[in-house]
């Protein structure tokens, strides 16, 4: 009777040999973990409601029910279209998304936002769009190698998305950075978030095609092999692009993110450390120049080095008030946190978006922060695992690039708020309020699902 | 490609390690420093977020937190205001805290170690944090009686249960209204605080436990104890009765306050000396005992010893090494000897309690605000044993005669049908610039009923009770002690 079930699902187009593994077992494990994640999310939202207001209402049901239903839909889609996918990815993403919604909702309550004005309501709507997009990707793209076919189209899409905010009438300046486009009063979108996926696909495709010329030819100098100038072309173009994002859109975080993604992917593809050295040198030189020539970059450095200096703290705009208030919040949380709904995260500006991690750090403490780190590490670890186990270079490179871009983004945003590096505006994946960020990260989840499914359901032909 | 992947994985691991380190530094390592930063409004918010526990007297709150509509959620309220301010102290946003508010801050704010499990439970259940309540040992009727008896005079009253050390009343005047230091208007609070601080009547000083006065003749109880405990003296030991005593190695002369002899006859006894509060026999006795012996006895009563009830008490003071004339004056509670009413009440307490001095205590129990369960409870504790039961009985008899004998110095403390044991004191404070004496400090300490004491009191009235040199301890201090004793005995 179990057999009939399997053959029914086997009617789905992708061919698989289920002789040595049991896909149903994987999916059942995933289901259990998803239910577990949903239970934690529900508990978090209920705690927020109790902690801040003391009663339960319709908003609670919407937030808990909405997220749970959406994630379960994704799970069902995976059951049909990616039966062998890694079972940990969706539960971890769902849990991160849920914790984010709970904390966003908590801040909504603190500042008195309700209905469609409430960021949490919009976040659940965006989660809906993001997860539906993920489902569409899983259903439509049955084999990731299709993406390789459109390498240059993705490259073009990425550049267009990146430059979109510079189009007059469409661009929107927030917090000094011009990285948003507005669609009416209600919706604003950060195309750069989506661009990073298109970029990762473009890089993976480009590098797989050109890795020989990038890695084989070159001159040896100082014990390292350096590429020819004409092979330096792509990195120079990219350096210029990253710098122009920095200069024109005033977005340090995004430029650092793209550049880091590019360097890591070119290093993984070619195995040449010299690329990293050249790249870091160029970025460093560019950043140094920007720090001297551009006031807002200089301010970031000043805030990083001397945030508690009263003059730096009082400076407006561009002072360290936000950074310092975030640190106060985290200190207020201490080891175990104030408890959900009992901190004062709303004191810090942008506590729902750029500062969502300190907000969570305040209410859930260092313990909560380490849970976040652990969840992120699991997600990144699963991505890297696809890279290690993958059998085609394009898939390996793409998975590595996507895993690294999540890791780097986390490092830039959390490192910024905890003073490891200067503060730059980026969103914490899955947690921060913002549709574009949710959309792009759930698309990455969909790609991970697709890639991990491919790895598992193909017989081991090549052993690396 | 896998070799590069391993290195990338290592880089990612190092990045996360950096984040874990930085957040640990912020949330644990530097947390206290960050919380203490004056720009950190969260710390202030947090202290007012907690529903601070109440301070209770007989189950009624004398300090409590009431909800507000503003950002601070709660404010402190003192329903009886100045009556309990010497005990409760005040609790301000930015001007610190005093009294029980400060001494039991951890319990009241719910941050003491014993509340750790409670706090965890609240985090898990999402309940509002709430501090524990503190039940005082104060008896509200006795407190009111002490307050009323002191009237408008500058001074302090302490009443205790001698068998347990529980403080039944503690009043200091003039005082302040702690309600004037609550609220969330920093500027106004600072103004009020500064005006209290600069007030020449020193309303912020708790004269019951932190004042500084010469104990005068009440200190003769200590000198008497020292003599009887030495084994060389009895209440009947005699001294020359000349009405004056020239201090050794000095031209100064000690006289009795009425400038006469100590009763009839060529000699007088220790018992008569104490009864009539004669200075001449005690000055001689002090010289005979020596400053070391006197200091030893005083220390056994708590002089020179740190004490928290749990309010920090300024210990009584007597120099250990003094020359003979200094020792003579110390023996009658002058010179450098200093004491608070609590200290002198402790002397009476040891006598009342068969020689055993109990540790004074102001907190009866700490109570969970939610379910009223007792978190911790006061247990009587022996502070010291300054004398034998026989000595205690002998001194008690002498103190009874101070009140009951017509020649006694505290006849105004008599209560019908009850044997009151007492001792007055009138301490000199030097002379004014025009050569006249400064107004005296008036004292009374004692206990009743003498056979099985229920209450011991210590009273100090500064500045002659406002009557200049006309104010006497018998006329002013003893009646205050009597009223407080009556308040206990009438219950």
- Provide the H-helix boundaries in B356-451: 389-404
Question: How many Cβ atoms sit within 10 Å of the Cβ of residue A366?
Answer: 21
Q: How confident is the model over B69-117, as pLDDT tens digits?
A: 776 677 889 999 999 999 999 987 666 788 998 888 878 877 665 556 6
Residues of B labelled catalytic: 217
Asked if B42 lies within 8 A of A404 by C-beta distance, the reply is no
A339 contacts on B by Cβ (under 8 Å): 122-123, 126, 129
- What's the average model confidence in pLDDT over B244-248? 86
8-state DSSP, A117: G
Q: What is the average pLDDT value for chain A, to the nearest integer?
A: 81
Quick one: pLDDT at residue A333? 84
Quick one: pLDDT at residue A239? 74
Quick one: pLDDT at residue A3? 41
Q: Domain residue spans in chain B?
A: 216-362+382-490
Q: How confident is the model over B453-481, as pLDDT tens digits?
A: 999 999 999 998 888 888 888 899 999 99
Q: How many structural domains is chain A composed of?
A: 1
B118 to chain A nearest CA, in Å?
13
Q: How confident is the model over B312-344, as pLDDT tens digits?
A: 999 999 999 889 889 999 999 998 999 999 999
- What's the average model confidence in pLDDT over B223-245? 91
B12 to chain A nearest CA, in Å?
6
- What's the average model confidence in pLDDT over B182-208? 88
Q: Is B163 helix (H, G, I), strand (E, B) or coil?
A: coil
Question: How many Cβ atoms sit within 10 Å of the Cβ of residue B167?
Answer: 28
How many whole angstroms separate alpha carbon B459 and alpha carbon B340?
A: 9
Does A464 touch chain B if contact means CB atoms closer than 8 Å? yes
A377 contacts on B by Cβ (under 8 Å): 16
Q: How long is chain A?
A: 464
pLDDT category at A222 given cuts 50, 70, 90 is low
- Does the structure show a pLDDT above 50 at A460? no
A414 contacts on B by Cβ (under 8 Å): 19, 23
- Does the structure show a pLDDT above 80 at A187? no
| A464 lies in some domain | no
Does A367 touch chain B if contact means CB atoms closer than 8 Å? no
| A459 lies in some domain | no
| A270 lies in some domain | yes
What ipTM was predicted for this assembly? Answer: 0.88
pLDDT category at A12 given cuts 50, 70, 90 is very low
Quick one: pLDDT at residue A163? 78
- What's the average model confidence in pLDDT over B282-289? 92
| Geometric angle at alpha carbon A418, from B123 and A288, rounded to 5° | 165
pLDDT category at B212 given cuts 50, 70, 90 is confident
| A225 lies in some domain | yes
- Does the structure show a pLDDT above 60 at A81? yes
Quick one: pLDDT at residue B406? 86
Side by side, which strands form the sheet with B167-173? B167-173, B155-160, B455-461, B441-448, B421-427
Peptide bond into B79 cis (omega under 30): no
- What's the average model confidence in pLDDT over A139-162? 86
B111 contacts on A by Cβ (under 8 Å): none
Does A371 touch chain B if contact means CB atoms closer than 8 Å? no
For residue A48, the enclosing domain spans 23-454
Does A248 touch chain B if contact means CB atoms closer than 8 Å? no
- Does the structure show a pLDDT above 80 at A453? yes
Of B291, B135, B294, B311, residue with least CA distance to B220: B294
- Does the structure show a pLDDT above 50 at A275? yes
- Does the structure show a pLDDT above 50 at A13? no
Question: Higher-confidence residue: B351 or A58?
Answer: B351
Percent of chain B whose pLDDT exceeds 70: 93
Quick one: pLDDT at residue A10? 38
Does A276 touch chain B if contact means CB atoms closer than 8 Å? no
Asked if B35 lies within 8 A of A328 by C-beta distance, the reply is yes
Asked if B19 lies within 8 A of A330 by C-beta distance, the reply is no
Of A350, A355, A444, A458, residue with least CA distance to A92: A444
B8 contacts on A by Cβ (under 8 Å): 264, 267-268, 384, 400, 404
Phi, psi at residue B188, to the nearest 5°? Answer: -70, -40
- Does the structure show a pLDDT above 80 at B120? no
How many whole angstroms separate alpha carbon A285 and alpha carbon B472?
A: 89
- Give the CA distances from residue B175 to residues B20, B159, B361, in Å, rounded to whole numbers and listed in that order: 52, 18, 22
Quick one: pLDDT at residue A135? 93
Does A142 touch chain B if contact means CB atoms closer than 8 Å? no
- Does the structure show a pLDDT above 60 at A464? no
Q: Name beta bridge partners: A327.
A: none
Quick one: pLDDT at residue A211? 76
Quick one: pLDDT at residue B117? 63
- Does the structure show a pLDDT above 90 at A242? no
Closest Cα in chain A to B46: A343
Does the domain at residues B216-362+382-490 carry the CATH identifier 3.40.710.10?
A: yes
- Does the structure show a pLDDT above 80 at B348? yes
Phi, psi at residue A440, to the nearest 5°? Answer: -65, -40
Quick one: pLDDT at residue A177? 59
Phi, psi at residue B267, to the nearest 5°? Answer: -125, 160
B26 to chain A nearest CA, in Å?
6
| A460 lies in some domain | no
The interface residues of chain A toward chain B in range 20-49, judged by CB-CB distance below 8 A, are: 46-47
- Provide the H-helix boundaries in B232-279: 270-275
Q: How confident is the model over B399-444, as pLDDT tens digits?
A: 999 999 888 888 898 998 999 999 999 998 888 888 788 889 999 9
B15 contacts on A by Cβ (under 8 Å): 407-408, 410-411, 415
B122 contacts on A by Cβ (under 8 Å): 339
Closest Cα in chain A to B4: A268
B126 to chain A nearest CA, in Å?
5
**CB burial readout A269-295, b (16+ within 10 A) else e:** bbbbebbeebbeebbeebbeebbeeee
Question: Higher-confidence residue: A42 or A235?
Answer: A42
- Does the structure show a pLDDT above 70 at B295? yes
B contact set with A (CB within 8 A): 1-5, 8-9, 11-12, 15-16, 18-20, 22-24, 26-28, 30-31, 33-35, 37, 39-43, 45-46, 49, 120, 122-123, 125-129
Long-range own/partner contacts, residues A247-251 (CB < 8 A, 24 or more apart): A247/A290, A247/A294, A248/A166, A248/A178, A249/A165, A249/A166, A249/A177, A249/A178, A249/A179, A249/A192, A250/A176, A250/A177, A250/A178, A250/A296, A251/A177, A251/A178, A251/A179, A251/A192, A251/A424, A251/A425
Asked if B5 lies within 8 A of A388 by C-beta distance, the reply is yes
Q: Which helix (H) or strand (E) holds A189?
A: strand A187-189
Peptide bond into B174 cis (omega under 30): yes
The distance of Cα B246 from the centroid of its chain, to the nearest Å, equals 36
Chains A and B form CB pairs within 8 A to the count of 140
- Does the structure show a pLDDT above 60 at B264? yes
The interface residues of chain A toward chain B in range 76-135, judged by CB-CB distance below 8 A, are: none
């Amino acid at each position: 009777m179990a057999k009939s079930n399997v053959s029914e699902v086997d009617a789905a187009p992708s061919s698989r040999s289920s002789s040595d593994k049991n896909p149903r077992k994987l999916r059942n494990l995933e289901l259990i973990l998803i239910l577990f994640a949903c239970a934690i999310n529900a508990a978090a939202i209920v705690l927020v409601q109790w902690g801040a207001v003391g009663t339960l209402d319709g908003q609670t049901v919407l937030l808990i029910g909405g997220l749970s239903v959406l994630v379960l839909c994704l799970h069902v889609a995976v059951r049909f279209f990616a039966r062998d996918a890694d079972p940990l990815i969706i539960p971890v993403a769902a849990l991160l998304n849920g914790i984010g919604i709970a904390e966003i909702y908590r801040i909504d309550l603190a500042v008195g936002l309700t209905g469609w004005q409430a960021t949490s309501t919009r976040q659940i709507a965006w989660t809906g769009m993001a997860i539906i997009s993920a489902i569409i990707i899983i259903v439509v793209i049955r084999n990731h190698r299709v993406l390789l076919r459109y390498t240059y189209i993705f490259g073009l899409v990425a550049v267009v998305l990146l430059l979109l905010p510079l189009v007059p009438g469409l661009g929107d300046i927030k917090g000094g950075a011009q990285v948003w486009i507005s669609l009416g009063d209600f919706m604003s979108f950060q195309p750069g978030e989506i661009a990073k996926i298109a970029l990762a696909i473009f890089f993976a495709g480009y590098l797989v095609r050109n890795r020989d010329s990038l890695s084989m030819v070159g001159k040896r100098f100082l014990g390292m092999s350096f590429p020819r100038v004409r092979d330096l072309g792509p990195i120079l173009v990219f350096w210029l692009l990253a710098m122009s994002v920095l200069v024109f859109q005033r977005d340090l975080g995004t430029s650092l993110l793209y550049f880091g993604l590019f360097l890591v992917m070119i290093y993984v593809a070619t195995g040449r450390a010299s690329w990293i050295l050249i790249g870091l040198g160029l970025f460093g030189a560019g950043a140094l120049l920007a720090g001297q020539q551009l006031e807002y970059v200089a301010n970031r450095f000043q805030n990083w080095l001397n945030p508690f200096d009263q003059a730096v703290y009082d400076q407006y705009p561009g002072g360290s008030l936000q950074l310092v208030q975030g640190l106060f919040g985290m200190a207020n949380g201490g080891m175990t946190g104030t408890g959900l709904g009992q901190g004062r995260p709303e004191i810090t500006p942008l506590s729902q978006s750029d500062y969502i991690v300190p907000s969570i750090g305040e209410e859930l403490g260092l313990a909560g922060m380490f849970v976040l780190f652990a969840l992120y590490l699991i997600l990144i670890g699963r991505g890297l695992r696809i890279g290690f186990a993958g059998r085609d270079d394009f898939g390996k490179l793409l998975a590595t690039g996507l895993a690294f871009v999540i890791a780097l983004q986390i490092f830039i945003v959390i490192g910024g708020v905890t003073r490891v590096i200067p503060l730059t505006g980026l969103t914490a994946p899955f947690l921060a309020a913002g549709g574009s960020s949710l959309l792009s990260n759930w698309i990455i989840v969909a790609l991970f699902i697709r890639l991990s499914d491919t790895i598992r359901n193909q017989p081991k032909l090549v052993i690396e | 490609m896998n070799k590069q992947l391993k290195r990338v994985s290592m880089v990612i691991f190092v990045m996360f390690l950096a984040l874990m380190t930085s957040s640990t530094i912020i949330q644990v390592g530097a947390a206290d420093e960050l919380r203490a930063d004056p720009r950190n409004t969260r710390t202030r918010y947090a202290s007012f977020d907690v529903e601070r526990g109440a301070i209770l007297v007989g189950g009624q709150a004398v300090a409590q937190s009431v909800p507000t509509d503003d950002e601070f959620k709660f404010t402190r309220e003192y329903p009886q205001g100045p009556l309990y301010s010497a005990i409760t102290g005040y609790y301000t946003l930015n001007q610190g805290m005093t009294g029980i508010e400060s001494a039991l801050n951890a319990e009241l704010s719910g941050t003491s170690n014993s509340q750790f499990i409670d706090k965890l439970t609240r985090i898990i259940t999402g309940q509002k944090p709430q501090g524990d309540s503190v039940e005082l040992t104060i008896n509200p009727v006795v407190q009111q009686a002490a307050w009323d008896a002191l009237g408008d005079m500058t001074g302090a009253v302490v009443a205790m249960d001698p068998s347990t050390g529980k403080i039944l009343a503690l009043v200091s005047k003039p005082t302040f209204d702690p309600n004037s230091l609550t609220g969330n208007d920093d500027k106004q609070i600072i103004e009020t605080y500064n005006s209290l601080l600069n007030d020449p009547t020193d309303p912020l000083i708790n004269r019951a436990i932190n004042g500084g006065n010469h104990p005068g003749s009440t200190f003769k109880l200590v000198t008497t104890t020292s003599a009887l405990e030495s084994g060389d003296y009895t209440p009947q030991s005699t001294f020359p009765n000349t009405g004056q005593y020239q201090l050794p190695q000095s031209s100064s002369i000690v006289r009795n306050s009425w400038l006469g002899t100590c009763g009839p006859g060529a000699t007088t006894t220790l018992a008569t000396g104490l009864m009539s509060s004669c200075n001449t026999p005690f000055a001689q006795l002090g010289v005979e005992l020596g400053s070391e012996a006197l200091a030893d006895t005083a220390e056994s009563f708590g002089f020179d010893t740190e004490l928290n009830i749990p309010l920090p008490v300024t210990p009584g003071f007597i120099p250990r090494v003094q020359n003979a004339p200094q020792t003579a004056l110390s023996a009658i509670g002058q010179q450098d000897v200093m004491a608070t009413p609590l200290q002198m009440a402790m002397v009476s307490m040891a006598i009342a309690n068969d020689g055993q001095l109990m540790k004074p205590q102001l907190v009866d129990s700490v109570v969970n605000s939610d379910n009223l369960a007792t978190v911790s409870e006061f247990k009587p504790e022996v502070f010291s044993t300054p004398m034998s039961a026989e000595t205690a009985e002998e001194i008690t008899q002498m103190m009874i005669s101070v009140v009951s004998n017509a020649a006694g110095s505290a006849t105004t403390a008599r209560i019908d049908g009850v044997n009151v044991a007492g001792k007055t004191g009138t301490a000199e404070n030097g002379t004014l610039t025009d050569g006249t004496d400064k107004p005296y400090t008036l004292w009374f300490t004692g206990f009743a009923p003498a056979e099985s004491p229920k209450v011991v009191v210590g009273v100090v009235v500064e500045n002659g009770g406002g009557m200049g040199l006309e104010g006497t301890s018998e006329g002013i201090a003893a009646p205050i002690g009597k009223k407080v004793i009556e308040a206990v005995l009438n219950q």
